[in-house]
């Protein structure tokens, strides 16, 4: 389990650390650090439909979103799309019909802090 989570962390560039009852728990490792959950009462993120054809909606509620932006990367980490999020809205319609089908990662950032990482499949 710990190896799978480490691989997911590398793929997603996920800053959250895990603190659970994995059998490979070792002192002073990634598993020993406290957990920070993305989904909190202050931040809610939803992508739909998923999978899609490159057109999808990002619904969000971010408590403090003055510097919020959406960043979309392919599985190699190449930047595909980046845009500031509208502070007066809770929805953003994305049109990525010019990208190839595959798996992409949608990061919601607030300044330098990653608030959420979601996977989207474009067919």
Which of 14, 110, 119 has its CA nearest to residue 70? 110
pLDDT tens sequence for the chain (123 residues): 556 665 566 555 554 554 454 545 455 454 444 444 444 456 788 899 999 999 999 998 877 767 889 999 999 999 999 999 887 888 999 999 899 999 999 999 888 888 889 999 999
Structure tokens at 14: 């996920």
Residue with tokens 């990662």: 105
Taking the C-alpha atoms of residue 66 and residue 82, their distance in angstroms, rounded to an integer, is 16
Residue with tokens 């300044």: 111
Domain at 37-122, CATH from 3.10.50.40, 3.40.47.10, 2.60.40.3080, 2.40.128.20: 2.60.40.3080
**Residue 102 CB-density burial (10 A; 0-12 exposed, 13-18 middle, 19+ buried):** exposed
């Amino acid at each position: 389990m710990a190896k799978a989570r480490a691989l997911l962390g590398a793929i997603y560039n996920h800053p959250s650390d895990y603190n659970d009852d994995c059998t490979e728990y070792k002192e002073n490792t990634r598993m020993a650090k406290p957990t920070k959950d993305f989904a909190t009462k202050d931040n809610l993120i939803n992508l739909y439909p998923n999978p899609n054809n490159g057109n999808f909606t990002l619904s969000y509620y971010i408590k403090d979103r003055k510097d919020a932006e959406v960043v979309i990367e392919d599985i190699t980490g190449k930047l595909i799309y980046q845009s500031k999020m509208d502070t007066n809205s809770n929805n953003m319609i994305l049109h990525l019909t010019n990208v190839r089908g595959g798996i992409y990662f949608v990061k919601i950032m607030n300044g330098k802090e990653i608030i959420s990482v979601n996977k989207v499949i474009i067919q």
